[in-house]
Amino acid sequence: MTKSLHPRSKGLLASQLPGDDLPGSRELTGREYLRVSEDRSKRMKSPAQQHEDNERACAAHRITLGEPYREGRAVSASRYSTDVRDDFDRLMTDLRNREFGADVLVLWESSRGSRRVLEWVTMLDLLERQGIFVFVTTHGRLYDPANPRDRRGLIDDANDSEYESAKIAQRIRRDMAANAAEGRPHGLCPVGLRPVYHERTGKLITWEADPETAPMIVDLFTLYRRGRSGRSIAKEFKERGYRNKLGNPYSPAHLRDMATRAAYTGLRVHHGELIEGTWDAIVERDLWWDVQRILAEPAHQSTKPRFGSVKHEYTRTMRCAKCLGPITTLDSKRGDYMCQTGGCARITKAPVDAILNAVIEDFLAQADFTARVARRVDTPQVRALEIAIAQLRAELEEAENAVPANVSEARMFARIIEDIKPKLADKQAQLRGLTTPSELASLLASDDGSPVADAVTRWRDAPVEIRRKIAKILLSPQYLGQVRINPRTPGKRLPPHERLTWVRDAA
């Protein structure tokens, strides 16, 4: 004959009690909380398997099960997890609102409830106030949270579970540090690479080039170095039929994020430090660094929406001589340039374009121009700046993506972010000052990446967006000079060239 547990038995069998006239000798109702975590325990069971075990044990102990609380996906109950356990939250809400609607909370094992001591104790307090019991299937026991001995046993279980979680977390961090020091891969394998596993153990060994998607990654970096915008690359990739893992076209933001990943050039980032990876690069190191310099430009940092495509190469490359605001193009029949900040200066566009085109083409036609900008700038100072920028960007990304546990941590992360941003901007400005010639070489290169013999022809044939990037470099104080448009002088009608001021750096 099956022996059942009395609800106030403190672990005793019902047959050992004085009689059935004691309070609670009736059948009980129960509700399960079902969860499977993503740990590697040998006793790991799915919610369906847990329910089957619970159902058999509860039937033997006169507990009738009602609607369960069931997590729809695998989530961890560890304090190291940031996962949201929707049905656990619903369970706690029902307990607080006295809407649990049963006599017993049924758990397959105590760690299924929580591996966080504070969270577990809070739940026990709520159960005790409402006279609700806890049945743990793997223990074969009915616990009463109001009984000090039962309560201590349940809290000891929570302490043991939290301690085990802490050991697992410590081991994971130690393994991650060791993997990083050896350059082994970590995290999701990025598009363009594929994981390589050990044939016998199934453990990840390294990454290797994915023959199907690696060419797309190389194209991405090549197009960025040629001066193409993320928007135009996304459009071209869509036309080529490239799709992400969800089957959707790549967005400009997604492509930009991909182009910053050091994994493509065989590097791993760990706590802001660049480490040589154990896998082969699919993007040449020089090409990767060139793209990082291009993406560090202010034009690639803006998060403001841009409507339409680039139509005018000199828009925002000039300044107002009065307020130093940017000069933009008006969509008028005549097509005028005007100060965007205060409307201080306005001038007809066509004659100004003719002047700027002539000056730029004269400069590009100089005999030593191609040789001067074609050589690669790759000094120890440049490489040190590149590494510093990559590390600062990694630290910034880590701080921006951090999940603070409280308000103090949130403020700390905010201070870290505000401290990194000016340092990053300063390093990027230093790098631009040293690498502008190689960027010009990339923009003026032919389709196969080689220097062109005729820079003027390349300038004339280039798309407007690339012409604008070249113009921004050349119409700067260190080259031809920053062009500033002077406001009209009352009573005077000056020709366009007399209203332009060229501001150059001192020699």
Average pLDDT over residues 236-260: 91
Same domain, 201 and 325: no
Q: Rounded to whole angstroms, how far apart are CA atoms 208 and 193?
A: 5
> Among the residues of 375-503, which ranges form H helices?
380-401, 407-443, 455-461, 464-474
Q: Tell which wins on pLDDT, 495 or 377.
A: 495
Q: What is the pLDDT of residue 6?
A: 41
Q: Is residue 177 part of a domain?
A: no
112 vs 492 pLDDT, higher one: 492
In CATH, what number is assigned to the domain containing residue 59? 3.40.50.1390
* Interhelix angle 230-240/214-225, nearest 10 degrees: 150
Confidence of residue 188 (pLDDT cuts 50, 70, 90): confident
Residue 221's pLDDT is: 93
Is 356 in the same domain as 251? no
Residue 249: CATH number of its domain: 3.90.1750.20
pLDDT digits 0-9 by tens, 34-46: 876 443 444 456 7
User: For position 445, what pLDDT does the model report?
Assistant: 62
Return the pLDDT at 402: 67
Alpha-carbon span 199 to 325, nearest angstrom: 63
Structure tokens at 459: 């300038």
Q: Give pTM, 2 decimals.
A: 0.42
With 0-12 / 13-18 / 19 or more C-beta atoms within 10 angstroms meaning exposed / middle / buried, residue 310 is middle
Instruction: Report whether 153 contacts 139 (CB < 8 A).
Output: no
Q: Are 343 and 487 in contact (CB under 8 A)?
A: no
pLDDT at 174: 54
Q: Helix, strand or coil for residue 215?
A: helix
Residue found by looking up tokens 């560090």 in the block: 296
Would you say 188 and 179 are in contact if contact means Cβ atoms under 8 Å apart?
no
Give which of 53, 15, 47 is closest to 33, Cα–Cα: 47
Percentage with pLDDT > 90 across the chain? 22
Answer with the one of 234, 263, 285 that is the final residue of a domain.
285
Q: What is the mean pLDDT of residues 78-101?
A: 73
Same domain, 160 and 206: no
In a domain, 453, yes or no: yes
Using the predicted structure, report yes or no on whether residue 479 has a pLDDT greater than 70. Answer: yes
Question: What is the pLDDT at residue 184?
Answer: 74
Checking if the pLDDT of 357 tops 60, the result is yes
- Res 278: pLDDT: 84
- Which pLDDT does position 303 carry in this prediction? 41
Is residue 441 one of the residues assigned to a domain?
A: yes
Q: What is the predicted pLDDT for the residue at 45?
A: 62
Say if residue 163 is in the same domain as residue 197.
no
For tokens 């980032």, the residue is 269
4: confidence class by pLDDT, cuts 50, 70, 90:
very low
In a shared domain, residues 387 and 489: yes
One domain, residues 243 and 346: no
* Sheet with 482-485, edge to edge strand ranges: 319-320, 482-485, 500-503
How many domains does one find in the chain? 3
- Burial code (b: 16+ CB inside 10 Å, e: under 16) for 182-196 equals ebbbbeebbbbbeee
With vertex at residue 257, the alpha carbon angle to CA 218 and CA 190, rounded to the nearest 5 degrees, is: 60
Q: Are 351 and 275 members of one domain? A: no
What's the rounded mean pLDDT across residues 105-123? 74
Range with top average pLDDT, 8-17, 28-37, 407-416: 28-37
Among 188, 180, 192, CA closest to 265: 192
In this prediction, residue 15 carries a pLDDT of 35
Q: Do 351 and 485 fall within a single domain?
A: yes
Is the pLDDT score of 180 beyond 90? no
Same-domain pairing of 109 and 53? yes
pLDDT value of position 250: 93
> Do 74 and 147 belong together in one domain?
yes
- Tell me the mean pLDDT in the region 12-25: 38
Note whether 393 and 246 are same-domain residues: no
Quick one: 465 and 354 in the same domain? Answer: yes
294 lies in some domain: no
Residue 188 domain-assigned?
A: no
Whether the Cβ atoms of residue 270 and residue 182 lie closer than 8 Å to each other: no
Q: What confidence category does residue 308 fall into, taking pLDDT thresholds of 50, 70 and 90?
A: very low
Residue 490 maps to a domain: yes
Pick the more confident residue, 196 or 448.
Answer: 196
Ranking 225-234, 298-307, 315-324, 359-368 by mean pLDDT, the lowest is: 298-307
Name the strand (E) or helix (H) holding 32: strand 28-34
Q: Token pair for residue 301?
A: 């940092």
Q: Give the per-residue pLDDT at 86.
A: 72
**Mean of the per-residue pLDDT values of the chain:** 77
Greater pLDDT, 1 or 487: 487
Flag whether 8 is in a domain.
no
Share of the chain above pLDDT 70, in %: 70
| Domain end marker among 132, 167, 202 | 167
Instruction: Please tell me which of 167-176, 208-217, 258-267 the model is most confident about, judged by mean pLDDT.
Output: 208-217
Residue that is last in its domain, among 285, 309, 332: 285
Residue 7 lies in a domain: no
Which run of H or E residues covers position 344? none
| Res. 249 pLDDT band, cuts 50 70 90 | very high
| Residue 138 lies in domain | 14-167
Range 341-344 contact pairs with CB under 8 angstroms and sequence separation of 24 or more:
344/320, 344/487
